Amino acid sequence: MQEGDVLTRRYRLVEQIASGGMSAIWRAFDQSLHRTVAIKVLDGCVGGDHGGRDLIRREARATARLIHPDAIEVYDYGETVTARGRLAAYVVMRLLDGRPLSERICEEGPLPWREAAVIAARVAMVLAAAHQRGIVHRDVTAENVLLTPEGAKLLDFGIAAFVGEEVDQRLADFGTPPYVAPERLTSSSVHPAVDVYALGVLMYAMLTGEHPYPETTWEALEAAHRTGPPPVPRAPGLPQEVADLCASCLAQDPGDRPTAHYVAETLTASLSAFLTAGRETATWVRRARMASIAAVMLATWTAALLWIQPNGRPPVTASVTTRPPDAAPATPTASASASRHSGALDEPIPGDGRGAGASPVPTLTRLASEPPAPSKAPPVPARSTAAERQRTGVPASARPAAPTLTQAVGRFDATLEAGEYLGAIRSDVALDLRQVVHNLLKSPDDPVRGLTKVREKLDDREREGGLTPDVRKELDRGLTLIGAALQRSA
């Protein structure tokens, strides 16, 4: 196949973006629906072996049967004779822009445990949906996980099979040795446990930067005689339950491995519990300090937002106090106590009269977007004209500067932190949004246009109950500031 070739008078090949094995992946243009797509093409002789065509047809059918936002979408499948008299089988898929997880690990080393847990949870959810429909991926690897602005996506169902199916030798010989479950060497029957094993290898690689077992070839894998319990990953701050979960996925006996659904639920629960688990400091100290920092960070950006929208309503603000139960609520506000609560989050506050054993009750005293009640003082114009500034002697340089890109992103992150503390946004949702925005700014594509997809993600997460409408509005304001800063720096 060459650039400019047209398949079935519809799909024009634009650029080859990947190749491997018997097929190649092309960026193509759908001349019927006027959209850019990805096409996996198998090009062979008309009278040759059709085994490859069977495989790519299986991939198209298996992927089309799975409907999940974090799995690759299949649009079409077809077979055609090319202009050069060769037979081409192809599958048309959604074109995704992103970076393979394997590249991220190779270039940057181990991932922070929370980021690794988010990625693993998303992959586990895709696998759980596939297993529910009787589909086993059989090739879950870091190479087949794509990190996109929308989050991690699981790709390549090229050697997928159905639960209980007896695969032939052609399918049995495919796979990536470090991720292949030991039972695949002795049994041809397809079982979801092989995907869970590969998911354990994936988690171990993200957390440590290396595979749990050294075998990288089929010969070495067949010669390996593993004894003893599976390795347990070690990483800074890694909760023991996540480390144990990874080890259980690597169990030699398939019956000892958890289901993909259990893995997804456990990882999500660990992420949600991370912010509320106090190990070195009393819970109320951590909450008070987090509330103080979040409130101060949000207040810092209020002036910038009001400068851009001087006649608009002030942004959502939160005043949080923490007090033991049955105590009087007359405690300093978070912003007022910020000066004496600065420093590391886990450092005890000296000189505080309250007992560390008291269980605080975080109280939300205000979370609203209404403007404050009007005062008796005469109104002040929101923005004076140049002549008025000259008459009053206020120089133009005295106006606050528009926030820079770094400041705008900092405000967005601060909103996420405040929402996490207040329980207005789930921890995994906040982490995912933070990663999506930061990855978007590193992307070579137009980040301003990419912000539209982030807003769509906000809508989806709000519908799912992952964040409240108030936080949704604040995050949308933050994206507006980021977009304005990007346009100024262009």
Q: Which residues are catalytically annotated?
A: 139
- Contact (CB, 8 A) for 14 and 29: yes
8 Å CB contact between 47 and 114: no
> Do the beta carbons of residue 46 and residue 52 sit within 8 Å?
no
Other beta carbons within 10 angstroms of residue 34's beta carbon come to 7
Distance in angstroms (rounded) separating the CA atoms of residues 471 and 145: 30
Decide: residue 406, CB within 10 A, 0-12 exposed, 13-18 middle, 19+ buried: exposed
DSSP designation for 340: G
Length of the chain: 490
- Cα 275 from chain centroid (whole Å): 18
| AA identity, residue 14 | V
Residue 411: both structure tokens together: 């405000």
- CB 61, CB 51: distance < 8 Å: no
Q: How far does Cα 148 stand from its chain's mean position?
A: 8
In a 13 Å sphere around the CA of 97, the CA atoms on its Cβ side amount to 13
User: What are phi and psi for residue 114, nearest 5 degrees?
Assistant: -65, -40
CA 476, 482, 485, 490 torsion: positive or negative?
negative
Q: Which helix (H) or strand (E) holds 210?
A: none
Contacts of residue 378, defined as CB under 8 A and 6 or more positions apart, other chains included, come to none
